[in-house]
Structure 1
Amino acid sequence: MIDILIVLTIVLSLALIVLVTIQPRQNQLFSMDATSNIGKPSYWQSNTLVKVFTLLVSLALFILLLTFMVLTYK
């Protein structure tokens, strides 16, 4: 059981690294953010699938790590 959790943790960690790496980068000027984004698509409208997968994988990894900690606590 623990071996399966370790392998699953490694796979989810690598998947999260890949998903974060392929996220598009954007320059941010915080002084202009409030006015420059008016009329432009919001954060979730560009590359929605990659961003949703990143969110789901990170949540799954978080829950898996919590489960792993509970199971190995003695």
Structure 2
Amino acid sequence: MVKMEFINKENVRVSIAEKGMTLKDFSSHIGISQVYLTQILKGYRSPSPTVSAKIAKGLGVEINDIFNISVYQK
């Protein structure tokens, strides 16, 4: 199992705003729902590696720049 958590959620929000996008704009741009993005930013859900990659690509950064990645066995 892989668990992805933002290193700093506020930095991600600022990065989205610096791109001139709302959360709705950004989530649409990367192909996920605004509700899902908000849940990830609030820490209610952990994104899949695929969604994490979409977020990182949308921000123009590497996954490791914005996510802590934990791998564990179930």
Computing the radius of gyration over CA atoms, which structure comes out larger, 1 or 2?
1
Greater RCO, 1 or 2 (C-alpha within 8 Å, sep 6+): 1
- Same fold, TM-score > 0.5, yes or no: no
Give the alignment's TM-score, normalised by structure 1: 0.26
Higher helix share: 1
Give the alignment's TM-score, normalised by structure 2: 0.26
Higher strand share: 2
